[in-house]
Amino acid sequence: MSDKLDRQQKNPGLTPRLLLITLILVPINCYFLLQMELVRYTFPTWIVPLSNVIFILTAVMTINALVRLLLPGIALRHGELLVLYVMLSITTTLSAGDILQAILSILGYAFWFATPENEFQELFIRHIPRWLTVSDEAALRDFYDGESTLYLEHHLKVWTPVVLAWLLVFLVLAFNFLCVNTILRRQWTEHERLTYPIAQLALEMTRPKGGFFRNKRMWIGFGIAAGIGLLNGLHTHFPQVPFVPVKRTYYTVTEGPLSFFADGGDLIRLSLYPYAVGILFLMPLDMLISTTFFCGLYRVQLTLGDIMGWDTLPRFPFHGEQILGGFLGLCVFVFWTGKGHFIRVIKRALGWRIDLRDSEEPLPYRAAVWGLVIGLVVLTFLLRRAGMTFWVAATFGLLFLIAPTVMTRLRAEAGVFACYGYAPRAMLSQWLGTRRLGPQNLTSLTVCFFNSEYRPQQMPHQLEGFKISEQANLSHRKMFAAILIATGLGVLVSFWIQLHLYYEHGAASGYFGPWALGHGRRWYGWLKDWIYYPTNTDWLGVVFMGGGFSVMMLLAYLRSRVFWMPLHPLGFLIAGGGELPGDLLVPLIVCTVAKWLILKNGGIQSYRRAVPFFLGLVLGDFLMGSVWSILSIVLNVETYQFYP
């Protein structure tokens, strides 16, 4: 009975003082991100755990340790540190180059850069939703030219309703993700017992009596990674200092045996990032082996295409289409394997009296199911107001859940830290063709893409937050509230800091890197091509998509029926997106061999003893890399960037 009472008494996490600390840290963190990604062209948000968040967590823990020595009564507690980590992860993700940086890049681009030559005015400007974009000439002139300020009355009057509209959109999206995660959480965390490797570093760092910072193996890994970062940083300014080649290097190979290892662009990509070795080591061995196998299979397809002459087909071997089919197949498999739990959840939502506890879930199951339905209806209404026809808006709302759900599964089970998703626009344009969608729907899809490349994702951070709250005995419902607060705060602060910088320096002044204008140039360039050159259903792409779907379903079926099946279906997806097929292939092979040798010769105990060393590699690379990045901003000089 006492154990049950202890379990029911949750540790404090979301507290007023933590909210105050978050309010202080989020603008500082957002400014750092924008300087890195918009000005200096390096992207902390492409990989997880987020290096800037780990750096801030380390700094806060260092200060907190001093406070605990002097005034132990006011020191932050374990749960507060973890909630801070989750909230900073959410706000960082929203500020990323693929999300709000990309969205702000397109809001005024078409109106400001429309000319008789590019025919924006004739082709699509009349279809652009005015409530989500800015067309005021005076506001856009100062936005692109700079040497002004956001805080003029006219600028605030123009931008406030647009920012609030996007705040509503992202709160609806976050709520939909939270409802889905509420439904998935018990099945994935308690029934399937997924391990959530990405959350392990923060959990180990903040564990009150875990001994992470007293572990010698951790400090060895930390020293190696931090030492490499220190040497490479010094080499940037003092060329006589040795350089350790761990960052990606490209080699062009067009013939000979080595051409097998080249990708579709005849490039061999080599890297040995310490953080990548550290994170990949946490991936289960069967997934490491499977991912390596499917990376090799992809190169076999390229080689076979060269031999048979199939490479004359555009996009052969249709790798993106295969992986998109695999995404759809994984969604089907995930819901099929958990059908017992999901049916019970739906029955509970419909009012059936069944034994299904939900008092400690982020939301009661009835609220989660009906909340998801209402959230999708609201999203459909918003997209309809943005110009989409009803059937496109409703389909988009459902399809937009696919990539985040798949990425959440990949993160929860495999610890994938760098991967691309697939946009509803790509699915709709392949299935239906741009001709059938028409200029109005295509324009709305251009403005409402919500996530450019699907590298940073909100939904995986949410579910990892619930895993963290379970491990630290925090309230799931307070974590739910913390995530929604972080979403709203992240949207508002990201818009604020970006607009402040753009009005000060000018988006088109040359102060910023290529993506200040690049997203608008790319998306509206695509839109122009879609309207100029309309397409019908891409049947060849659909066939390869069906092939990817079939491969995923076959792998999943064999995995569930044949206990010795060596290939994991997730390896098919991991090998198909993001950096693993190219830039991170060497770390993947290194970790596969290292983990196999450790488990073969020392068993699970040796593996557990080795984990702190690999977490140390991640921590050392992140902290030293963040130090160089901060120096770059403070001193306004070019310094070493540990990624990409």
Model confidence over 20-45: pLDDT tens digits? 999 999 999 999 999 999 998 888 88
Mean pLDDT across 307-320: 81
Neighbours of 314 (CB within 10 A): 8
Q: What CA–CA distance (Å, rounded) separates 519 from 515?
A: 6
Does residue 641 contact residue 40 with C-beta atoms inside 8 Å? yes
**What pLDDT sits at residue 6?**
41
**What pLDDT sits at residue 239?**
92
3-state SS assignment for residue 195: coil
CA 541 to chain centroid = 26
Percent of the residues in the chain that have a pLDDT greater than 90, as a whole number? 70
Strand residues in 521-587 grouped as ranges (E)? none
* pLDDT above 80 (res 270): yes
Name the nearest CA neighbour of 127 among 377, 389, 381, 378.
389
DSSP category for residue 613 = H
Residue 253 banded pLDDT, cuts 50, 70, 90: confident
3-state SS assignment for residue 141: helix
Q: What CA–CA distance (Å, rounded) separates 6 from 26?
A: 33
The two tokens of residue 172 are: 């609806």
Cite the DSSP H helix spans in 386-475.
390-399, 402-414, 424-431, 434-447, 458-471
Residue range 563-616, pLDDT digits in tens:
778 889 999 988 876 666 667 888 999 999 999 999 999 899 999 999 999 999
* pLDDT above 90 (res 135): yes
Name the nearest CA neighbour of 149 among 458, 393, 505, 600.
505
Cβ burial of 109 (10 Å; 0-12, 13-18, 19+) is: buried
Residue 4 banded pLDDT, cuts 50, 70, 90: very low
The β-bridge partners of 268 are: 251
Residue with the two structure tokens 């979301």: 14
3-state SS assignment for residue 268: strand
Name the nearest CA neighbour of 590 among 297, 271, 299, 298.
271
Residue 545 banded pLDDT, cuts 50, 70, 90: very high
* pLDDT above 60 (res 3): no
Name the nearest CA neighbour of 416 among 223, 170, 584.
584
Cβ burial of 413 (10 Å; 0-12, 13-18, 19+) is: buried
Q: Render 627-641 in DSSP notation, one character per residue.
A: HHHHHHHHHTS----
**What pLDDT sits at residue 579?**
60
Mean pLDDT across 243-258: 81
**What pLDDT sits at residue 311?**
73
Residue with the two structure tokens 């779907």: 549
Cβ burial of 384 (10 Å; 0-12, 13-18, 19+) is: middle
Mean pLDDT of the chain: 90
Residue range 325-356, pLDDT digits in tens:
998 999 999 889 999 999 999 999 998 888 88
Name the nearest CA neighbour of 450 among 471, 425, 427.
425
Q: What CA–CA distance (Å, rounded) separates 558 from 593?
A: 25
Q: What CA–CA distance (Å, rounded) separates 362 from 462?
A: 11
Name the nearest CA neighbour of 643 among 410, 407, 417, 458.
417
Does residue 460 contact residue 412 with C-beta atoms inside 8 Å? yes
Name the nearest CA neighbour of 198 among 12, 10, 400, 51.
51
Residue 12 banded pLDDT, cuts 50, 70, 90: confident
Mean pLDDT across 430-440: 93
Mean pLDDT across 517-524: 93
**What pLDDT sits at residue 580?**
62
CA dist 572 → 326, 552, 556 (Å):
8, 7, 11
**What pLDDT sits at residue 421?**
63
* pLDDT above 60 (res 5): no
Looking at 135-149, 253-267, 285-299, 626-640, which range is the least confident one?
A: 253-267
Looking at 65-79, 338-352, 378-392, 417-431, which range is the least confident one?
A: 417-431
**Close Cβ partners of 424 (under 8 Å, ≥ 6 residues apart):** 395, 396, 399, 400, 402, 445
Q: What CA–CA distance (Å, rounded) separates 346 from 186?
A: 14
- The kind and range of the H/E element at 615 are helix 585-635
**Half-sphere CA count of 245, side-chain side, radius 13 A:** 7
Give the dihedral of Cα atoms 27, 28, 34, 40; nearest 10 deg: 170
Q: Which amino acid is at 301?
A: Q
Residue range 184-221, pLDDT digits in tens:
999 999 999 999 999 999 999 999 877 899 999 999 99
**What pLDDT sits at residue 577?**
66
Of these ranges, 105-109, 422-426, 579-583, the one predicted with the greatest mean pLDDT is 105-109
Neighbours of 404 (CB within 10 A): 23
Q: What CA–CA distance (Å, rounded) separates 101 from 118?
A: 24
* Longest CA pairwise span in the chain (Å): 77
**What pLDDT sits at residue 2?**
38
Q: Which amino acid is at 631?
A: L
Does residue 290 contact residue 410 with C-beta atoms inside 8 Å? no
Strand 249-252 relative to strand 267-270: parallel, antiparallel, unpaired? antiparallel
Name the nearest CA neighbour of 80 among 198, 208, 197.
208
Residue 303 banded pLDDT, cuts 50, 70, 90: confident
Q: Render 76-124 in DSSP notation, one character per residue.
A: PPHHHHHHHHHHHHHHHHHTSTTTHHHHHHHHTHHHHH--TTTTHHHHT
**What pLDDT sits at residue 462?**
96
Residue 437 banded pLDDT, cuts 50, 70, 90: very high
The two tokens of residue 481 are: 């509230």
Residue range 356-402, pLDDT digits in tens:
888 889 999 999 999 999 999 999 999 999 999 999 999 999 999 98
Q: Does 172 or 252 have the greater pLDDT score?
A: 172
* pLDDT above 50 (res 246): yes
Strand residues in 188-320 grouped as ranges (E)? 249-252, 267-270
Neighbours of 115 (CB within 10 A): 8
451: left (phi over 0), alpha (psi -120 to 50) or beta: beta
DSSP category for residue 60 = H
Residue with the two structure tokens 């199911």: 369
The two tokens of residue 509 are: 């002044």
* pLDDT above 50 (res 7): no
Does residue 535 contact residue 429 with C-beta atoms inside 8 Å? yes
Peptide bond into 644 cis (omega under 30): yes
